[in-house]
Structure 1
């Protein structure tokens, strides 16, 4: 595979999943770890991504203040507008991180009166702009790769919450394998967040449909809402139309 083809592949993965791991790219591209490290360094030098220990992060994932490089921005805004209809005054909402969740926060009604718990400092910054929204940032170890807090202390705090709605982004969702990811810590966080909430909504651009990663988070049956930019009757969503899963 030519270097440009490798770079294009890396950018596709990082746009879809917000981060990539060197170990995964070695297997997917069947090249040496040194080759991947050189590729990521070159792409970082070209200001295409942030190179971090063990992989790379999307530029848009790293800050709420410059959203000019957010991948599939219009699709994420569409998802955000659909999701705001689920959030009512007086609700307790639990959120993860990621660019789709940040776009959602930017679309919230100006006078919303609600309480938000979040594991994402970047999401907390955006929520703090709303005068009537109480923002509670769950503190713990901070993941430079995922830009969220994690660890046993975070899971312990999450388990004590009784939220009305859990809002999660995702790296992948599949009609058979459900919600999956590649990071063990993130999986544990998502499982705890879902179990601490009466209802859960997965926010997902359609490019992440029909993808299955290594670690399972939840079966489709355990998700209340699947929200994409597609019309709910789109043929791409046919295999996700199961009992109790509402597609928006």
Structure 2
């Protein structure tokens, strides 16, 4: 594979999953780790992505302050977010993680709806505060803050979640598969999301369809743990056929 083709694949993978590991990219491209490291370094210098320890993250990963920054598949994510808003009820206590689709949902939160939010995500907390009215309460869950994901992880955050019972959880997802379930590239983030699920009565995944049928290292939950799976597609779409028998609502 030529370098230009490799670069295109790398950028697409990073945009889709927000964070991708060097080892996974080497397997996808069938090249050495050294080759992938050089490619990532060059793409970082071209400002196509951000090089981080062990891999790369997208330029828009957890970005909240610059509304002019291009967001991957933004039209689809806005469509998904609008569907997700329809699941909220007045008085709900909401637990929401980070991720670009969840951030689009935060921008659309009805201003007159009485809602209480808990989040382990710094960008999400700031986005919710930017849109906050006297109808909204926003709580950030404490713990160790990851510089790369800007997400709180570790024992403190997991213990805090055991004291919370929420009506609905909007779980940011990087990888979803009808058989392998919901997975993550980072073990600490996977453990945090497991704790989020345990604290929730209703579990919602907002995801663009390009993330369907993808798998990573660390298991978060079986796919039928979901209450609702929301994509930009109609529920009758062919790619969703393997998800229809899993016992959750497709929007």
Q: Structure 1 length normalisation: TM-score?
A: 0.95
Q: Does 1:56 align with 2:62?
A: no
For these two proteins, the number of residue pairs brought into alignment is 248
Task: Please say if 1:38 is aligned against 2:30.
Answer: no
Query: Which residue of structure 1 lines up, in the alignment, with residue 160 of structure 2?
Result: 157
1:230-245 correspondence to structure 2 within 5 Å: 230-242=233-245, 244-245=247-248
Alignment of 1:1-248 (within 5 A): 1-67=1-67, 68-128=69-129, 129-131=131-133, 132-242=135-245, 244-248=247-251
Give, in whole Å, the separation in 2 of the partners of 1:62 and 1:181. Answer: 16
Q: Describe the SS at the equivalent of 1:169.
A: coil
Moved more, 23-32 or 83-92: 23-32
For 2:151 and 2:62, the matched residues in 1 are separated by: 11
Alpha carbon RMSD of aligned pairs, Å? 1.3
Name stretches of at least 5 consecutive residues in structure 2 with no aligned partner: none
Higher strand share: 1
Cα distance in 2, alignment partners of residues 187 and 226 from structure 1:
18
| The 10-residue stretch of structure 1 (97-106 or 57-66) with the greater mean CA deviation from structure 2 | 57-66
Paired residues of 2:62 and 2:98 also in contact (CA < 8 A)? no
Question: Separation in 1 of the partners of 2:51 and 2:197?
Answer: 31
CA distance in 2, matches of 1:52, 1:175: 30
Shift of 1:243: 5.1
